[in-house]
Amino acid sequence: MTTTLPITDVKTLVETAIKAAHHAYVPYSHYRVGAALRTVDGTIYGGCNVENAAYPATICAERTALVKAVSEGQRQFEAIVVVTRNGGFPCGTCRQMLYEFSPHLRVIIADLSGKILHDERLSDLLPYGFGPSELSK
């Protein structure tokens, strides 16, 4: 079930993600991504993508926000907004990292103007995901 957030909270998440995208370091792809991850207590963590000449060392905006939140002790999340110029979705690695903590996370995709293009659950974007519960089976 997708979490219900007031439209003002969704707008705040979108604005935070857009601001984060402006900080992206993208000298190679020129593809800015911003993310805003909301915890169940309402705290918001922004993140941007940071590229590196050694491409595997690049980190996505979604993982930046997630790592910031986890490093501050957060473990429960209800929504993430991801913004790009054309409504790109989180990559597979980001989906897996987010799934670790919140399989039913609400994922809102918007463009850099703030237009919402998609609103889905993470479990729909990563069907049959592998999470902590799989290790106990």
Whether the Cβ atoms of residue 43 and residue 136 lie closer than 8 Å to each other: no
Q: Which two tokens stand for residue 4?
A: 């219900």
Catalytic residue selected from 15, 51, 62, 78: 62
| Closest to 69 in 3D by CA, of 94, 46, 90, 93 | 46
Q: CA 54 to CA 56: how far, in whole Å?
A: 6
Q: CA 67 to CA 129: how far, in whole Å?
A: 20
Task: Reply yes or no on whether 100 is catalytic.
Answer: no
Q: CA 29 to CA 82: how far, in whole Å?
A: 17
Residues that are catalytic: 62
